[in-house]
Amino acid sequence: MTLSSNDTFSKKLALLGIPMDLGAGRRGVDMGVSALRNARLAAALRALGHTVQDLGDVPVRIAETMDALEQGGLVMLEPILEACRAAYQRLSALPEDVFPICIGGDHSISLGTVAGTAHGKRSGLIWVDAHTDFNTPASSETGNIHGMPVAHLLGLGDPKLSSLAGGWHIRPEDVVMIGIRSVDPRERELLLEHRISVYTMKEVDQLGMTRIAAETLEKLGGLEKLHVSFDADALDPSIAPGVGTPVPGGLSYREAHLLMELLSESARVTSMDIVEVNPILDVQNRTAQVMVGMAESLLGKRIM
């Protein structure tokens, strides 16, 4: 047996909450921010030797105070833009030696978090999710923006969403998706058109997570920044029941931890999202606790 050191290089971590469920069709993920804090996310990371500053939450409008009218095929466009701009501004103002952990909230928060943590530089995006979230207003079957952030980060779709960070965009070759098992038909066409690297659960079963992690890091080699955006529904619902869009057949507990551990060992990840935790649908805050464990593994926790 090969033993590895428990010692990790201490990082400066910053937690930023974006308590938003405006991009989703099912309510409750706005409370995921509190659920993750209640699961002692900050304390767990401090126990690994990191310094942790909780920056609080960005302001998000409350859905019940507004009419949920579509704007160009997009539900809640303006308040989502407001929250994502606020997240972008808070994150882009942080020193570059800070490792931000952005907690949501639905996955539309990534429009602001991925752009904000990039600091205008070329960045790799590791999208761990049951869904590719590569819809545009023209391809979406629902108009829910939490199914669209990756396409807009590439500069596609609605001009307001795709220009949130000015002229900065992710390059298609700098995106890797892992754990995918639910893709809309027109979304699939867009993924193929832009040649996005996608590891479905079939590839996870066939190749194994060690190979997938190695191929991901090789593909994104040379990039100064890597952002991990982890949707709780990437995990199988038996492990993470508290999500709004559960899809059977997801990542196992060990597969997900192994991915985080291998990414941690690379020492190349510079920021993270934790999204789509819905405590209304959860059992004794289990999903938030599991996701805290994923953050611990990415930030250096080892058994031996």
Q: Could you say which of 57, 158, 231, 255 is catalytic?
A: 231
Cβ atoms within 10 A of the Cβ of 202, count? 11
Known catalytic residue: 152?
no
Q: Is 233 a catalytic residue?
A: yes
Nearest to 154 by CA among 146, 145, 163: 163
Identify whether 194 is a catalytic site residue.
no
Write down the catalytic residue from 21, 50, 57, 131. Answer: 131
Residue labelled with tokens 């597969």: 255
List the catalytic residue out of 57, 276, 282, 296.
276
Neighbour-count burial of 112, counting CB atoms closer than 10 A to its CB (0-12 exposed, 13-18 middle, 19+ buried): buried
50 is known as an active-site residue = no
Catalytic site residue 78?
no
**Tokens 């590895």 sit on residue:** 4
Choosing from 174, 184, 233, 282, which is the catalytic residue? 233
Distance in angstroms (rounded) separating the CA atoms of residues 254 and 257: 5
**Identity of the amino acid at 277:** V
Given 21, 50, 57, 107, the catalytic residue: 107
Q: Could you say which of 133, 174, 187, 255 is catalytic?
A: 133
Amino acid in position 46? R
Annotated catalytic residue 236: no
Confirm whether 146 is a catalytic residue: yes
Query: What is the phi/psi pair of residue 68, to 5°?
Result: -80, 55
- Would residue 131 show up in a list of annotated catalytic residues for this protein? yes
Given the residues 119, 146, 169, 227, the one annotated as active site? 146
Which residue in 30, 129, 261, 282 is the catalytic one?
129
> Which residues are designated catalytic?
107, 129, 131, 133, 146, 231, 233, 276
